Amino acid sequence: MHNHAHADKPYKNVFGPQQNNVSSIIRGFKGAYTNRIKMKTNIIHFPWQSRFYDRIIRNDRALYTVRKYIRKIR
């Protein structure tokens, strides 16, 4: 079972409420999926990768390259 995920999300470069930052989005995602994994398996502690790496994709070509990489590793 993989301990990481890939996602792309449009993100505006603005300051706003804390619940909208990348860390809180990742925390919510990990929490929701950890609960789901626990309900569907006998795994008590799911070993997520401890940190996350984010990247700003600045143009369509870079987005195409990243999506191609994600599809390739499946």
How does pLDDT run along the chain (74 residues), one tens digit per residue? 466 677 776 666 566 666 667 788 888 888 898 888 888 998 888 788 788 877 788 899 998 998 898 888 76
Residue 38 lies in a domain: yes
Residue 47 lies in a domain: yes
Which pTM value belongs to this model?
0.58
Q: Are 22 and 16 in contact (CB under 8 A)?
A: no
pLDDT of 46 reads 79
pLDDT of 25 reads 82
pLDDT of 30 reads 87
Residue entry with tokens 């499946």:
74
Residue 12 lies in a domain: no
State the total domains in the chain: 1
pLDDT of 12 reads 64
Determine the Cα–Cα distance for residues 45 and 31; give it in Å rounded to an integer. 12
Residue 55 lies in a domain: yes
- SS3 state of residue 27: helix
- Which residue segment(s) compose the domain that 27 sits in? 18-72
